[in-house]
Amino acid sequence: MSTTYPEFVTIFTFLVRSHLDSSYITKVDTSLKNNEATASTKKMVQNVREFHAMRRNLIQKVYEHVGCDSFVTHFVRCIGIEQYNCVPKKSICAISHQTLTPDQGILVILRQNNGQLLPYAVHTRFKRVLYNVWFLIHLPQEIMITIHHWLRNQLWWQTKTALDYEEVVRRIVTYNDGIFIKKCYVKLKDIGSHLQSDVVSNPPTSVDILTAKPGRKP
């Protein structure tokens, strides 16, 4: 990931603010349209656009590697995913099409936007790739999982103390010396490195898929 840490601070802040404040993106767009945006706002927008372009590029490269008709492309239409650490006997890997023994695979259950559940058996060596792609696709929601848990334990949030969104976001991003941002940045750097070295850099052939080395557990 080429994004620098200072740039990611502005990106992370934008993602958190826009998640909590449904009108924030409209406000930013309006300020740009009316030529009222500050230099810092313009820089933030540029950083966010470049970051999203990088995410899309990595995701697309994975799609090309596993096949554009792969179930992995369904992640974008899903709101949840469950994993079981074994598969039924004689299951077929949804990526390599190899027959799996129960302990060779994981069972992935996708919950689509319409509530439908879709099960897929996958060899354990693809577990890390699946986790990384899911995180990239659902990044804003993944970021907020830990933050929402933290907020529920904050008295000022529980009591609905009158705080504007700017102050709420400031408290989130500065908490414990920016721990939320730092953990997410390190995770994204690791994901980017893994996908570039183990997936994107390899040609999307069936031979590579069948001989892919097991990744480390996420």
Question: pLDDT tens digits, the chain, 218 residues: what are they?
Answer: 678 999 999 999 999 999 999 999 999 999 999 999 999 999 999 999 999 999 999 898 888 888 778 899 989 999 999 999 999 999 999 988 899 999 999 999 999 988 899 999 999 988 988 999 999 999 999 999 999 999 999 998 988 776 789 999 999 999 999 999 999 999 999 998 888 776 655 544 433 333 333 333 33
Whole-Å CA distances, 133 to 27, 120, 129, 171 = 30, 16, 6, 29
pLDDT of residue 75: 93
- The answer to whether the CB of 173 falls within 8 A of the CB of 12 is yes
pLDDT of residue 200: 55
Q: Show me where the domains of the chain are located.
A: 5-79+143-210
pLDDT of residue 212: 35
pLDDT of residue 96: 87
pLDDT of residue 199: 65
CA separation for the pair 204, 68 (Å, rounded): 11
Q: Give this prediction's pTM.
A: 0.84
pLDDT of residue 162: 65
The residues near 199 (Cβ < 8 Å, ≥ 6 apart) are 61, 62, 65, 129
pLDDT of residue 84: 93
pLDDT of residue 194: 84
pLDDT of residue 211: 32
pLDDT of residue 134: 94
Half-sphere exposure of 27 (CA within 13 A, CB side): 10
